[in-house]
Amino acid sequence: MAATPTREDNASNAAFEARIAAGETIEPKDWMPERYRQQLMRMMSQHAHSEIVGMLPEGNWITRAPSLRRKMCLLAKVQDEAGHGLYIYCATETLGVDRAQLIDQLLTGKAKYSSIFNYPTLTWADIGVIGWFVDGAAIVNQTVLAKASYGPYARAMVRICKEENFHKRQGFEIVATMASGTPGQHAMVQDAVNRWWWPTLMMFGPSDANSPNSAELLRWRVKRFSNDELRQRFVDLTVAQAQAVKLTLPDPKLRYNAETKHWEFGEIDWAEFKQVIGGNGPCNRERLAARRAAHDNGAWVRHAAAAYAEKQRRAGAASAA
Amino acid sequence: MAASTDQADGASGEGPLWEVFTQEKQGAPHEHAGSVHAPDAEMALQNARDVYARRGDIVSLWVVPSSAIIASSPGESGPFFDPADDKPYRHPQFYKTPRGVRVY
């Protein structure tokens, strides 16, 4: 087990804080406060679960993609999300937890995942808008997490960021194509923008005033910017992209502040956010049911692989004897 | 790198943990990429390919049972590595050479 602290004395804590302050990277076998380990485990496993559950809304459209090219691209993107989930599970395991435990926490509803994946994908335009908004927001988040103080997490983020740009571009390509298509196509993609904009802004988490974990995570340099700072960065990036494809973001209060050089936006409906996080979003139950079914339906594959490996081991032992 | 060996017994039904090393081009070193669960070496290689080589940018893969890796201990890294600390003469900068001569 990695560096289970035998004594959390002040000296170790002070040395740890000094390493963090000096910008050093913490590795699995290094001493770390139990609270740091717990916070990372919570945050990283939520992140991994989000990648896995995130496959579901998009997977919904693989069989109905409008062309073979779009289908191949979407399939590759959804496979990437599976890969990204596995990168982060593997990084979380370095904290001394087994992946099976983490998956169990997801399937029993004990662990959370990103609220955004509890919204339905009603039309093909949603696939474009998810790539553009949701992956765009994820890139803003993950680019910063690539500098997180915990080495395995940061390295997983570097790997993910390299791959994620394709996701955003495949989404924006769909959006741009539909936005410059027939009036019906334009209306469809505008409708998707209207439905996904606010839930995407919620992805960055509660505002700084109401984010219980933020201060600690910022101090430990797991996070490098606050939820509100990252949300603002995303809005600033996205407004110009929306203008370029002649789509309107559904916020009458959206206006450019020439002084701060930021786009100001309206109030987020935090009551909705709480509802969705609390398990009462449009698709929470459906998503968990789908994950449970996938896990159960895969059981025979895991059993068969284990049985085959065991058989080979016995055959090897017999021939060696 | 995986922290634990006692979790590598496959009790979860997903098999033990394997560390994955990837080589990005001919002649480059194999670098640690992450880990996978698999019941045997063959599946570990296949899982490693699916997780760490999805874009044709890898030319070679190694998988090693995590339990087989012996790592130095961070708590002892001071005394463990200090034999090299007082040997500046192992660096080229230690040596004085005549002015104006290109030595390397």
pLDDT tens string A88-126: 999 999 999 999 999 999 999 999 999 999 999 999 999
Tell me which amino acid residue A190 is.
Q
Q: What is the ipTM of this complex?
A: 0.85
**Chain A residues in contact with B17 (beta carbon < 8 A):** 93
Residue B13, helix vs strand vs coil: coil
How many angstroms away from the CA of A267 is the closest CA of chain B? 40
Say if residue A298's pLDDT is above 50: yes
| Percent above pLDDT 90 for chain A | 90
d(C-alpha A90, C-alpha A157), whole Å: 12
Say if residue B3's pLDDT is above 80: no
For position B74, what pLDDT does the model report? 80
Range A271-289 average pLDDT:
95
A80–B73 CB contact, under 8 Å = no
CB B21, CB B59: distance < 8 Å:
no
Range A36-45 average pLDDT:
96
How many angstroms away from the CA of A139 is the closest CA of chain B? 19
A309–B6 CB contact, under 8 Å = no
Range B85-92 average pLDDT:
88
For position B103, what pLDDT does the model report? 72
Looking at every residue in chain A, the average pLDDT score rounds to 94
CB A99, CB A89: distance < 8 Å:
yes
For position A122, what pLDDT does the model report? 97
**How is residue B89 written in tokens?**
């003469």
* A1 — pLDDT class (breaks 50, 70, 90): very low
Q: How far apart are the first and last CA of chain A?
A: 34
How many angstroms away from the CA of B73 is the closest CA of chain A? 7
B1–A95 CB contact, under 8 Å = no
Q: What are phi and psi of B16, to 5 degrees?
A: -70, 175
Closest CB from A2, A30, A79 relative to B4: A2
Residue A177, judged by CB atoms within 10 A of its CB (0-12, 13-18, 19+), counts as: middle
**Chain B residues in contact with A98 (beta carbon < 8 A):** 7, 12
pLDDT tens string A20-29: 999 999 999 9
Task: Count Cβ neighbours within 10 Å for each residue of A69-92 and write b for 16 or more, e otherwise.
Answer: ebeebbeebbebbbbbbbbbbbbb
**How is residue B52 written in tokens?**
């760490």
Range B95-104 average pLDDT:
84
How many angstroms away from the CA of A98 is the closest CA of chain B? 6
**How is residue A286 written in tokens?**
């459906």
d(C-alpha B51, C-alpha A95), whole Å: 20
Q: Which helix (H) or strand (E) holds A54?
A: none
**Chain B residues in contact with A90 (beta carbon < 8 A):** 2, 34-36
* B10 — pLDDT class (breaks 50, 70, 90): very low
More confident position, A237 or B4 = A237
How many angstroms away from the CA of A189 is the closest CA of chain B? 30
A306–B36 CB contact, under 8 Å = no
Where do the structural domains in chain B lie, given as residue ranges?
Answer: 13-69+76-94
Min mean pLDDT across A182-196, A243-257, B77-91 is at: B77-91
For position A34, what pLDDT does the model report? 95
**Chain A residues in contact with B36 (beta carbon < 8 A):** 86, 90
For position A250, what pLDDT does the model report? 98
pLDDT tens string B69-79: 999 888 777 88
Closest CB from B6, B15, B51 relative to A306: B15
CB A55, CB A75: distance < 8 Å:
no
Residue with tokens 């406060």: A33
Matching CATH number, B13-69+76-94, of 3.10.20.740, 3.90.1720.10, 3.40.50.12160, 3.10.20.520: 3.10.20.520
C-alpha distances in angstroms, A300 versus A86, A192, A278, A296?
Answer: 20, 39, 33, 8
CB B55, CB A163: distance < 8 Å:
yes
